[in-house]
Amino acid sequence: MSGTVTKIDEIALGGTKEGKITIATIQEPYGSKSQSVASIGISLQADLQEPDWKVHIPKENIDTVIEALRKAKEAL
């Protein structure tokens, strides 16, 4: 993966001692002229250089993902 990463926020991961959720944007994540994405990374340990899990969400899908997460929260 290439591109410019801009960190937006870092959140403590519930249920872990040192885990983190990192929110960022990535410009040109897959090379020149590729569409920018929002990136969500999950790290189970604070000192990891690469997250254990990550997802890239294109801008046009962010609102729908947020709504689905709201529904998931209500279902929990």
pLDDT per position as a tens digit, 16-68: 999 999 999 999 999 999 999 999 999 998 777 789 999 999 999 999 999 99
Determine the pLDDT at residue 46. Answer: 78
Confidence of residue 3 (pLDDT cuts 50, 70, 90): confident
Determine the pLDDT at residue 34. Answer: 93
Instruction: Give this prediction's pTM.
Output: 0.87
Domain that holds residue 71: 4-75
HSE-CB at 74 with a 13 A cutoff on CA atoms is 6
pLDDT tops 90 at residue 10: yes
pLDDT tops 70 at residue 1: no
End-to-end CA distance of the chain: 34
Number of domains in the chain: 1
User: Strands 4-12, 37-43: parallel, antiparallel or unpaired by DSSP?
Assistant: unpaired
